[in-house]
Chain A
């Protein structure tokens, strides 16, 4: 833009010189820039991904303790799938996965139903006290399980939930899922136009009818993405599951793998790493398909709307 101006006042030759000089400078700057960026990218790539690489490498090597002498020297005859085989046949890993699926699935469905209603209320309706209710719900979302696991261990008993029941977890997970969903979906509701709603109202639909038939279908894409996000939140939960479930057959995978593969002072590292990787697969699959929604969910806590 700047060069276009100079081209008229000074001769073409002169302006060409200026451009080439500018280009040279840019190129010089670009070199240091590229170097700095490469170093930074490499650092972050190694920092964030090395543990995963190490998990994978450990899970497919036969002589794990021999790794201490030459950890990075891998020969093909060392490679094995025996850790995975042992994980799947000799431990309750598949059962833990099933438990996690059950808990994460049901808690997300229930939380979505409850959260959708309150999100509609806070995001779509105008009434006194709505703003305060929204703040209370958001504050609830910020209360960490560390403050609640002790009294909840008593409360779930006299609500009638049995010891070592997966339903205990499903109910308890609502405490952080419902506020999260309310927060996410109410901003979705705020973002959709009210034209259709008003048209339906003029045609004689009651508020309840308009809500179910007009507004909720409009945010279904949002509901689906929030469902998967809450699914991963449930899947990853540790403290409540660790506190409330003591029977090995009832553990979700996030606790089962950690608990069961250590016998005395002996760790089964190969199986542990195999279990850690396979136990992460469902959330990574969800994440890879819904990355943009995932990022939106991530920032929801920090950026309103």
Chain B
């Protein structure tokens, strides 16, 4: 019994010290509003100083010829006009759309299937849930290495399996053909993101009252009807919020493409983030790079506004 007492005296001592300290400082902060704002100060130093300010700086840079370590001469709309003429940039915008929309739609569909499957399983449910989420848990840059290896031109195990199944009769050049390269980076994104949707939707499924299903079964509703009229309306809000979040994350994706294809072949897998990196960090043209990255902003504004509106409604 001596240990708890010891801890207790230690704790009360701490209480005493803290009370004496705050009283000595005369800090009582009885005003709720004042205390509320004061506690937000450190967070807003970070939000304004390391997110808000850099963002404005980025917008400013996009109107200049800023280079790494150099000055930032104002050039007006030159960067944007250059970009509009640049076929690589136009290709990148198309790629980013294709990448994001395709990947998110497939992730939602597969995630929904994963959740519905797991929801039906009784045996080993926990183990299955835990292992299915692994792609989302591990560092993406490291798991992409496994895919880099699985898609490698000469030793691709995926090609090997496809050959054994008789689907193809030659080595698949994953990184040489634009369509295959895009499919490859999308596959990795889908692989990583599907479990996220799976788990979110599964969490939503468990909130649907069982009585509704029982009543529907008595009424003779088929599985599809039950899904359409009971399950879907219940998980819809969660699905929307998760989809918006996934759109934001996929739109700003960098590492999958950078490690797998570096934007090739023929810039057909470049995303806004990878092109901005190549231009600004490798090419040292910060101004032009910033102009590329800024193109993310309008889409982000729409997605974030939708997200916030949805959260507010709840």
Residues of chain A whose beta carbon lies under 8 Å from any beta carbon of chain B: 2, 33, 37, 40-41, 44-45, 47-49, 51-52, 54-55, 58, 64-65, 67-68, 71, 113-115, 117-118, 120-122, 125-130, 133, 135-140, 142-155, 171-172, 174-175, 178-179, 182, 205-209, 212-213, 232, 235-236, 238-239, 242-243, 253-255, 257-258, 267, 269, 272-273, 275-277, 279-280, 283-284, 287-288, 291, 294-295, 298-299, 301-304
User: Which residue of A49, A117, A143, A288 is within 8 Å of B300 (Cβ)?
Assistant: A143
Closest to B301 in A: A139
Closest to A279 in B: B142
Residue B219 at the chain A interface, CB threshold 8 Å: no
Residues of B within 8 A of A154 (CB): 57, 286
User: Which residue of A41, A114, A175, A295 is within 8 Å of B199 (Cβ)?
Assistant: A295
A299 touches B143 (CB 8 A): no
A276 touches B46 (CB 8 A): no
Residues of A within 8 A of B238 (CB): 302-303
- Binary per-residue interface labels of chain B (170-212) against chain A in the complex, 1 for a CB within 8 Å, 0 otherwise: 0000000000000000000001001110111001100000000
A155 CA / B199 CA spacing, docked (Å): 38
User: Which residue of B114, B146, B150, B311 is within 8 Å of A44 (Cβ)?
Assistant: B114
Residue B93 at the chain A interface, CB threshold 8 Å: no
Q: A209-B18, A254-B142, A255-B141 are in contact. Are A269 and B149 (CB under 8 A)?
A: yes
A128 CA / B308 CA spacing, docked (Å): 19
A68 touches B154 (CB 8 A): yes
Closest to A113 in B: B42
Q: Which of B228-273 contact A (CB under 8 A)?
A: 238, 241-242, 245, 248-249, 251-255, 258-259, 272-273
Residue B51 at the chain A interface, CB threshold 8 Å: yes
Q: Distance (Å) between the CB of A50 and the closest chain B CB?
A: 8
B131 touches A48 (CB 8 A): yes
Residues of B within 8 A of A51 (CB): 135, 143, 146-147, 150, 191
Residue B9 at the chain A interface, CB threshold 8 Å: no
Residues of B within 8 A of A172 (CB): 50
Residue B29 at the chain A interface, CB threshold 8 Å: yes
User: Which residue of A48, A144, A243, A294 is within 8 Å of B132 (Cβ)?
Assistant: A48
- Binary per-residue interface labels of chain B (67-95) against chain A in the complex, 1 for a CB within 8 Å, 0 otherwise: 01000000000000000000000000000
Residues of A within 8 A of B28 (CB): 206-208
